[in-house]
Structure 1
Amino acid sequence: MSHRNIASGIAFAFSTFRIPPDKRNQQLYDMCFLPLAHIFERMVIAYDLAIGFGIGFLHKPDPTVLVEDLKILKPYAVALVPRILTRFEAGIKNALDKSTVQRNVANTILDSKSARFTARGGPDKSIMNFLVYHRVLIDKIRDSLGLSNNSFIITGSAPISKDTLLFLRSALDIGIRQGYGLTETFAGVCLSEPFEKDVGSCGAIGISAECRLKSVPEMGYHADKDLKGELQIRGPQVFERYFKNPNETSKAVDQDGWFSTGDVAFIDGKGRISVIDRVKNFFKLAHGEYIAPEKIENIYLSSCPYITQIFVFGDPLKTFLVGIVGVDVDAAQPILAAKHPEVKTWTKEVLVENLNRNKKLRKEFLNKINKCTNGLQGFEKLHNIKVGLEPLTLEDDVVTPTFKIKRAKASKFFKDTLDQLYAEGSLVKTEKL
């Protein structure tokens, strides 16, 4: 990574972040949440320092103190990974579900906001929004998360559901900008607009790079026919070479300077990039269907409020998927207690223990999870699970600091558990998925 790459990345940031005139003479703040070693945070901090933002850091290296520190700093902007946003989404939904009246009022407001955003796009400057929606609901949600002064949220480093983006934009009335980039490009090379009416893309390629698509016929992606293929990037923001590794460099960068990202993307009619698959992270099950685990995990996390983590695994000799799941006890307890009142008296540890030990209860929980998901075919849904409070940890080296799953290491670490799940068999094979 050269100074040219870094300078180009900061130039891209300056071209896409626009500080409104009424904020330009104020001291604005950004919360540094991700590790400074992560390229996403490195780019954000470089921009912050260049423009003169104040930078806040968590008072201890623990993600659970994020909201506490956001309430103190009240930042103008914050960059968060999708896992944190899906937790925000689940927390908001759980908080709004405490009474029928509260739920109905909230749903009315959120449905109205969502319909308005998807129909028109752009910030909502209506009188109804500021005099009613904010006072009744939105300001309370923002205050509870420390986002009362926040203008926009940046997210990247992993896929995120369109439903999550639309829900948070409606509930917080904040622009959410999804970006795409890699370590090899000094983080972001494209970034969506904050209030697009059709959410989900990562925006058009930025000023410091150009892109093209390469067909991946073995996965059914043909760039010339459907504008889907492996994303390739070239330009001053792209790295020069891997450190003392010419073989890997030659594999990744061709003679014309095109860097193959390994991500499958779609480019729409507006030139916006949407990452839809991963060239390397896919496999076949015994029935011959291709599985894209990252896509499946993202849909589960964004659709289901009962879980906080998920690792999807498929044995190519088997016909179904199994998984390791982190359970949100506060969300899961009420839905299980509807049929099993004794669940209300269980501690977190007892609930996890009983879910893993009681096959019938686990099957019921798994069916609840599977019914939450939209957009997954039957063979893409989990058939058996092992649950935990936080089964995927940095200490076990199965996730990165930004909570991306290290698949090879996770598969090895959980090998015995995964084998046991397959030995037990499918819990839902007779169910309609």
Structure 2
Amino acid sequence: MALSARDEVFDQATIDHRVASVGHLFRDRVSATPTTEAFRYPVGESWESLTWADSAARAYALAAGLVDLGVAPEERVALCSATRLEWVLFDLAVMSAGAATTTIYPTTLSADVAYIVADSGSKVVIAEDATQVAKLREHRPDIPEVSRVVVIDGEGDGDWVISLSELEERGQARLAAEPELINERIDQLTPEHLATIIYTSGTTGRPKGVLLPHSAWTYEAAAVDSIGILSKDDLQYLWLPLAHVFGKVLLVLPLQIGFPTAVDGRVDKIVENVGIVKPTFMGAAPRIFEKAYGKITMMMAQDGGIKEKLFHWATGVGRKVSAVQQQGKEPSGVLALQHKVANAVVLKKVQERFGGRVRFFISGSAALNRDVAEWFDAVGLRIIEGYGLTETSAASFVNRPHAGGYKFGSVGWALPGTEVKIAEDGEILLRGPGVTSGYHELEDATAEALDSDGWFRTGDIGEVDERGFLSITDRKKDLFKTSGGKYVAPSVIESMFKGICPYASQLVIEGDGRKFVSAIVTLDPEAIEGWAGQNGLGGKEYAEIVTSPACREMVQGYVDELNVQLNRWEQIKQFVILDHDLTIEEGDLTPSMKLKRRVVTKKYSDQLDALYTD
């Protein structure tokens, strides 16, 4: 039986009467609130803003420029850049011109860039800087259909590459001659027109291009709007990679709802920026929350004494309040008084680290550790975990921030209009307007993923409880069986460890066909420096610290703590600590910080095999 969200009132009319395309959505937003703030972006050490009318003026000029370059409706324009204002404007421009955006991470290797550009049939490529242009030049013979490259930061070459300012000038000239050019392109758009191709981060073989029509994005925007968790008074801080579906869906929500968005993709600036921008909500991958949790709890442990005791008392009170709120109630009596004191003395200070106005965070792209989620809730910073895939336009399920609408350890309720059912083998199947129309020029892969009734096979194992909350067990392909015949779900164990060990960066579980479970451990470079200073290793190189006997003893203690919570066959009997962390640049993680399990276990197979030699 298919299930949908329960215990919730939502505006069905918002979903039923959604507009035809993202181009229509953008144009309607500009018409409704032309002078309100749309986007905020950094310029040097300060921030500047664009209104919705300003944004349309720039995006339409870029759109007309693309038309002037010969881009036809539904033709692809590849966009290879970090998250920044220009990414946003170009994406809006591409869709307003009736074309489709092919998203490419700036960390993508040149050969893969060439493959994606060629496979998608992109006619124009938007490149952030000289580094991205060089990737294209290296493989120019492999991408003969690319007529022009537009560089955001840099100058043209008078031939193949033109600058951003040149494109804008061409667009402004074209609009002067044909003022209704972009409006006419938007008017031609239908819900079925292709809006985006996002290539999955394939851990084996070539990535597949996921086709997402305009209807998928307008559905996502309308469905989130209908449940009422966001309003025009919100302020979003957006740093996530916009080449990823999670970042992309957060970009379409302001078009529907009208709130402003501060855009800056520099990960090292997140903490500083949220203190300045003071957002009311932000999306992030679990690793960001794990690092913040580890850093704050570690700082308290280092301070020790009365300060540490007060911190633990305050978060303990916060946990009790959270438990009451999960039952749809509010604290009263002594607990209410204690919470008022805890909030004033400790919890407010933690909240102020994130700007002091956050109503909730949204976590997606990988599993969030329950202990981390409960700790954040205890300090007054609720994380609502969600679930979706590239093939479902990101948001299929999400916890609600209100009391009774969230459940720790789950990814929440389905968005209105999305259906779920669990197959006999436990696989989660989804159906709804947000589901992809298929994979680009891959009929067999499309048929394998989508059945004749429109159900998409997610590849994830999970279960839905009696109230409609979905819980994810693991990726179907990641589950493995030990030589003793017992199944192990690695991502659950990995997430648990990150909630226990404040120094952990990554834990990679292995044991397929083996007599016991082993693991690869990496430690967070920033966190381990503090530990080193307290353990006679201050000033040492990272590799020397993490391979020291004292460090191994410390990690063993946390592994022992983890093992107590596991079944006997799941327990980690042996582990290796790498002398370096796993990174996106080395291909160990996807750009959204998701572990490439098979890549990592293959890369370090010699170290893993050595654990089983006895």
- Shorter-chain TM band: 0.7 to 0.9
Larger Rg: 2
CA distance in 1, matches of 2:338, 2:489: 40
Q: 2:509 corresponds to which residue?
A: 312
Encode CA deviations 1:247-297: one digit per residue, 9 max, x unaligned: 111111111111111111111111111112221111122222222221111
Encode CA deviations 1:80-104: one digit per residue, 9 max, x unaligned: 1111111121122112221221122
Q: What's the offset of the Cα at 1:19? A: 4.0
Aligned with residue 253 of structure 1, among 450, 467, 484: 450
Native 8 Å contact 1:9 1:208 kept in 2: no
Equivalenced residue count is 395
Change over 3 Å in CA distance of 1:365–1:133 after alignment to 2: closer
Q: What's the offset of the Cα at 1:329? A: 6.1
Q: 1:353 corresponds to which residue?
A: 544
What letter corresponds to residue 321 of structure 2 in structure 1?
Answer: R
Aligned with residue 57 of structure 1, among 263, 275, 279: 263
Aligned with residue 105 of structure 1, among 306, 310, 331: 310
What letter corresponds to residue 72 of structure 1 in structure 2?
Answer: I
Q: 2:59 corresponds to which residue?
A: none
Q: 1:219 corresponds to which residue?
A: none
Native 8 Å contact 1:327 1:387 kept in 2: no
Change over 3 Å in CA distance of 1:387–1:66 after alignment to 2: farther
CA distance in 2, matches of 1:347, 1:386: 23
Q: Tell me, yes or no, if structure 1 residue 93 matches structure 2 residue 284.
A: no
Q: 2:500 corresponds to which residue?
A: 303
Indicate the RMSD between aligned Cα atoms, in angstroms: 2.6
Q: 1:225 corresponds to which residue?
A: none
**1:66 is paired with a residue of what secondary structure?**
helix
Encode CA deviations 1:94-117: one digit per residue, 9 max, x unaligned: 122212211221222211221222
Q: Tell me, yes or no, if structure 1 residue 7 matches structure 2 residue 198.
A: no
CA distance in 1, matches of 2:573, 2:366: 24
Change over 3 Å in CA distance of 1:199–1:330 after alignment to 2: closer
What letter corresponds to residue 85 of structure 1 in structure 2?
Answer: F
Q: What's the offset of the Cα at 1:129? A: 6.7
Aligned with residue 158 of structure 1, among 334, 345, 366: 366
What letter corresponds to residue 344 of structure 1 in structure 2?
Answer: G
Q: Tell me, yes or no, if structure 1 residue 137 matches structure 2 residue 346.
A: yes
Provide TM-score, normalisation by structure 2: 0.60
Q: 1:114 corresponds to which residue?
A: 319
CA distance in 2, matches of 1:289, 1:57: 46
Q: 2:237 corresponds to which residue?
A: 31
CA distance in 2, matches of 1:113, 1:361: 34
What letter corresponds to residue 554 of structure 2 in structure 1?
Answer: F
Q: 1:263 corresponds to which residue?
A: 460
CA distance in 2, matches of 1:156, 1:16: 18
Q: 2:88 corresponds to which residue?
A: none
Q: Which moved more, 1:311-320 or 1:390-399?
A: 311-320
Q: What's the offset of the Cα at 1:148? A: 0.7
Native 8 Å contact 2:295 2:527 kept in 1: no
CA distance in 2, matches of 1:193, 1:75: 18
CA distance in 2, matches of 1:104, 1:354: 29
Change over 3 Å in CA distance of 1:365–1:53 after alignment to 2: same
Native 8 Å contact 2:351 2:381 kept in 1: no
Encode CA deviations 1:212-248: one digit per residue, 9 max, x unaligned: 11111xxxxxxxxxxxx21111111111111111111
Aligned with residue 243 of structure 1, among 419, 422, 440: 440
Change over 3 Å in CA distance of 1:354–1:138 after alignment to 2: closer
CA distance in 1, matches of 2:430, 2:540: 47
Q: Tell me, yes or no, if structure 1 residue 365 matches structure 2 residue 554.
A: yes
CA distance in 1, matches of 2:258, 2:324: 36
Aligned with residue 177 of structure 1, among 384, 388, 396: 384
Q: What's the offset of the Cα at 1:363? A: 4.6
Native 8 Å contact 1:118 1:198 kept in 2: no
CA distance in 1, matches of 2:520, 2:363: 26
Q: What's the offset of the Cα at 1:167? A: 0.8
Q: What's the offset of the Cα at 1:174? A: 2.7
Encode CA deviations 1:379-422: one digit per residue, 9 max, x unaligned: 32333333347521111111111111112221222233333444
Native 8 Å contact 1:34 1:41 kept in 2: yes
> Please, which runs of 5 or more residues in structure 1 have no aligned partner?
217-228, 426-433
What letter corresponds to residue 103 of structure 1 in structure 2?
Answer: E
CA distance in 1, matches of 2:611, 2:455: 43
CA distance in 2, matches of 1:401, 1:332: 25
What letter corresponds to residue 519 of structure 2 in structure 1?
Answer: V
What letter corresponds to residue 419 of structure 2 in structure 1?
Answer: E
**1:236 is paired with a residue of what secondary structure?**
coil
CA distance in 2, matches of 1:198, 1:241: 32
Change over 3 Å in CA distance of 1:277–1:249 after alignment to 2: same
Q: What's the offset of the Cα at 1:164? A: 1.5
**1:265 is paired with a residue of what secondary structure?**
strand
Q: What's the offset of the Cα at 1:318? A: 4.2
CA distance in 2, matches of 1:346, 1:377: 37
What letter corresponds to residue 77 of structure 1 in structure 2?
Answer: F
Q: 1:282 corresponds to which residue?
A: 479
Q: Tell me, yes or no, if structure 1 residue 344 matches structure 2 residue 533.
A: no
Q: 2:428 corresponds to which residue?
A: 231
Native 8 Å contact 1:5 1:237 kept in 2: yes
Q: 2:337 corresponds to which residue?
A: 128
Equivalent runs, 1:363-402 vs 2, <5 Å: 363-373=552-562, 375-388=565-578, 391-402=581-592
Q: What's the offset of the Cα at 1:362? A: 5.5
Task: State, as a whole percentage, how many aligned pairs show the same letter.
Answer: 27
Aligned with residue 406 of structure 1, among 583, 593, 596: 596
Q: 2:421 corresponds to which residue?
A: 212
Encode CA deviations 1:149-201: one digit per residue, 9 max, x unaligned: 11111111111122221110111x13321111111110011211224474222
Native 8 Å contact 2:411 2:469 kept in 1: yes
Q: 2:607 corresponds to which residue?
A: 417
Encode CA deviations 1:36-83: one digit per residue, 9 max, x unaligned: 01101110111023322222233xx54232101111211111001111
**1:187 is paired with a residue of what secondary structure?**
coil
Q: Tell me, yes or no, if structure 1 residue 189 matches structure 2 residue 396.
A: yes
What letter corresponds to residue 397 of structure 2 in structure 1?
Answer: C
Native 8 Å contact 1:29 1:75 kept in 2: yes
Change over 3 Å in CA distance of 1:419–1:130 after alignment to 2: closer
Change over 3 Å in CA distance of 1:405–1:86 after alignment to 2: same
Provide TM-score, normalisation by structure 1: 0.83
Q: 1:167 corresponds to which residue?
A: 375
**1:164 is paired with a residue of what secondary structure?**
helix
CA distance in 2, matches of 1:80, 1:390: 24
What letter corresponds to residue 79 of structure 1 in structure 2?
Answer: G
What letter corresponds to residue 108 of structure 1 in structure 2?
Answer: W
Change over 3 Å in CA distance of 1:213–1:320 after alignment to 2: closer
**1:96 is paired with a residue of what secondary structure?**
helix
Change over 3 Å in CA distance of 1:123–1:93 after alignment to 2: farther
